[in-house]
Structure 1
Amino acid sequence: MLLTVKMMKPFYTLQEGNELKLVFAYQYFSVVKGDEVYQFIPVESNEIRINLKTKQIENLTDIFVFQRGTRIFRVPLFQLLQISDLLEHLQAIAQFYIQQIQSEEEEEAMNEEITNLELQNLYRLIDKALLEGDRDLFMELTEKLKTEEAAQ
């Protein structure tokens, strides 16, 4: 049984930290099985949770239910991913959020590096004050160093 996603629009998306929840409702998610269109019905699971850091889907065992008239079929999310093009649709939806997380991580790493460089410079200035015997500058810089280290 091969399926293709006909339409997939989350009813809403919710980002909580590194987790992205895509919540689906009636008429927002449909698949084609054979020549027939089946509509998603939220009787069991209604969301897909994606870890934005690992890019992994976290609720693979959740059951999704689709209906056409009186016919219904249930399929676990992991199987739906194997027998359909669902992953391509999820990647398109999640890409913006993944890039946002990566940008935040890059900015955090850069800020950390800047802080480390500033501390190294402060240590060098303290060493220079010691070498030159500048007690006032040494006291001022060590006080600043204490403040910087306490802030971290």
Structure 2
Amino acid sequence: MLSVKRMTPFYTSKEDFRLRLVFAYQYFSIVKGQEVFQFVPIEGKEIIINMKSLQVENLGEIFVFQRGSRFIRLPLYQLLLISDLHMHLSDVLDGIFQLAPELSMPQAREIEDMIGELELRNRLCMIDYALEMNDRLLFNELTEGMHTPNVTQE
């Protein structure tokens, strides 16, 4: 499992109902194991959020992180699934909503619940994908820390 160490947009812009978060060197880093990997804007460098649905629109965007001569390339959808990126996005969005509070607090909570449900569904789909591809490493990363129901075998 990866964790986000720092995620500060270098630049944000709001176009109609879309929020663009643009990242640059030193503004985005992840931790894998005990090692910190820095974001490098080689490929993808932005996250686009639909402010009406609060959904990330560019899930296929590839983010690249570097530590020395090693690189990690991750599609945004996978980064959302195997890291705590959603928590950092929530913090960024909380700051945006405080600047322009268009939603009431109950609406914001409902949206957060919906996001949590969508994240769980995405994780379950990725688990299915890992099983289909027989990718044990991805499966273990995705199921790490998940609660499983008690099932008795006969």
The one-letter amino acid of 1:39's match is Q
Secondary structure, counterpart of 1:102 in structure 2: coil
Distance apart, 1:5 and its partner CA: 0.4
Q: Measure, in 1, the Cα distance between the counterparts of 2:64 and 2:95.
A: 27
What RMSD over aligned residues (CA atoms) do the two structures have, in Å? Answer: 1.6
Name the SS of the counterpart of 1:44 in structure 2: coil
1:102 aligns with 2:102: yes
- TM-score w.r.t. the length of structure 1 is 0.64
The equivalent of 1:22 in structure 2 is: 21
Query: Aligned pair in 2 of structure 1 residues 98, 54: CA closer, same or farther (>3 Å)?
Result: farther
Structure-1 residue corresponding to 2:117? none
TM-score, structure 2 length as denominator? Answer: 0.63
Partners of 1:53 and 1:98 within 8 A in 2: no
Which residue type is aligned with residue 65 of structure 2? F
Q: What is the CA–CA distance in structure 2 between the aligned matches of 1:88 and 1:82, rounded to whole Å? A: 12
- Partners of 1:36 and 1:51 lie apart in 2 by 32
AA paired with 1:87? Answer: H
SS in 1 for 2:77: helix
Aligned pair count reads 103
The answer to whether 1:73 aligns with 2:72 is yes
Q: Which runs of 5+ in 2 are unaligned?
A: 104-154
Deviation at 1:102, TM superposition (A): 2.4
Structure number having the greater helix percentage? 1
Aligned partner of 2:86: which letter? L
The 2-side partners of 1:81 and 1:24 are apart by: 16
Letter in 2 for 1:23: V
1:92 aligns with 2:91: yes
Partner in structure 2 of residue 11 of structure 1: 10
CA distance in 1, matches of 2:6, 2:53: 26
Larger radius of gyration: 1
